[in-house]
Amino acid sequence: MSRSRFALLLAGLAALPHGLPAQEAGGYEARMARGDSLHDALDPAAALEEYRAAYFERQTYDAMWKFSRSQVDVAKQLDDDRGDYRDSLYHVAFLYADAAVRADSTDAEGHFMLSQALGRVSLTKGGKERVRYAKQIYDAVTRAIELDPGHDGAYHILGVWHAEILRLSGIARFFAKTFLGADFMSRASWDSAAVYLERAVELKPEDLLHRYDLAEIYVDIERYADARRQLEEVLRLEPTVDVLDPQTQADAASLLAEIRDQ
């Protein structure tokens, strides 16, 4: 591990809360079970502490990718005024996801978390920087789908990948193709963006973000009636899947008001 990556790792670990010592908390299995329960309860900071402690007892594949998952969930709640710190947490999530893939490249979750951590980092960057991540994200998420064709989160990321490529400015896309050899980006299409998000919704219809991001794509391609239906579902469903569900519902209400007469 490079010195810079090690520094990021230490920064991310130092920021975590410290609870009971591992020997007083039941060991690896108990830590992992509590982490899973806390994740399901939408308490990623507490889940992260449990996965952190479990990892330092036993460096398993599950501890790595679940640590990465909770790290992303903690980081994505941070505002832009804490952007540098948030990005450092995403980098730590990337390091753990990368380690998970190295530990077991045959399971989808590690590849999915790798694509998610890289995607979160890229969305905080400008166009030229964003394209540097594009191929890594694409490779990781398509591998996740190959390994698990029913992975709703992977279809979501792949759909958003297509949309974000098309949302880049012409200058950014020209930069990518000319200087980064990113001809693969020409495969991006709005049809694919919609199809992959529709598949994510089909696989997990209760996920508010699947529906919201699909609605945004429908707006991009002027399918306003379809967008309104998805946004109305976002507002109807209970916020039980993701820590940002309440914010997603607020965003859905705002977007619905914008396109109500379209």
- Taking alpha carbons only, the member of 192, 186, 114 closest to residue 153 is 114
Looking at the structure, tell me whether residues 99 and 168 fall in a common domain. no
Looking at the structure, tell me whether residues 21 and 63 fall in a common domain. yes
Q: Give me the pLDDT at residue 172, please.
A: 66
User: How many domains does the chain contain in total?
Assistant: 3
Q: Give me the pLDDT at residue 180, please.
A: 58
Q: Give me the pLDDT at residue 173, please.
A: 67
Looking at the structure, tell me whether residues 47 and 99 fall in a common domain. yes
Q: Give me the pLDDT at residue 14, please.
A: 41
Looking at the structure, tell me whether residues 193 and 228 fall in a common domain. no
Using the 3D structure, point to which of 81, 104, 127 is the last residue of a domain: 104
Q: Give me the pLDDT at residue 52, please.
A: 95
Q: Give me the pLDDT at residue 169, please.
A: 74
Looking at the structure, tell me whether residues 114 and 196 fall in a common domain. yes
Which tokens in the block code for residue 81? 């005024």
Please provide the size of the chain in residues.
Answer: 262
Looking at the structure, tell me whether residues 146 and 181 fall in a common domain. yes
Residue 171: which H helix or E strand, with range?
helix 170-179
Instruction: Assign residue 222 a region (left: φ > 0; alpha: ψ between -120 and 50; beta: otherwise).
Output: left
Looking at the structure, tell me whether residues 100 and 111 fall in a common domain. no
Using the 3D structure, point to which of 57, 72, 104 is the last residue of a domain: 104
Count other C-beta atoms under 10 Å from residue 27's C-beta.
Answer: 13
End-to-end CA distance of the chain, in Å? Answer: 52
Looking at the structure, tell me whether residues 215 and 190 fall in a common domain. no
Angle ∠(218,141,58) on CA atoms, nearest 5: 135
Looking at the structure, tell me whether residues 171 and 236 fall in a common domain. no
User: By residue range, what is the domain housing residue 81?
Assistant: 1-104
Place of tokens 């980064």: 180
Looking at the structure, tell me whether residues 19 and 87 fall in a common domain. yes
CB 69 within 8 A of CB 94: no
Looking at the structure, tell me whether residues 35 and 109 fall in a common domain. no
Question: What is the distance of C-alpha 116 from the center of its chain?
Answer: 3
Looking at the structure, tell me whether residues 129 and 168 fall in a common domain. yes
Give per-10-residue mean pLDDT for the chain (262 aa): 44 43 67 97 97 96 98 93 88 96 98 94 73 87 98 97 85 65 74 98 98 98 98 96 96 97 90
Using the 3D structure, point to which of 154, 185, 201 is the last residue of a domain: 201
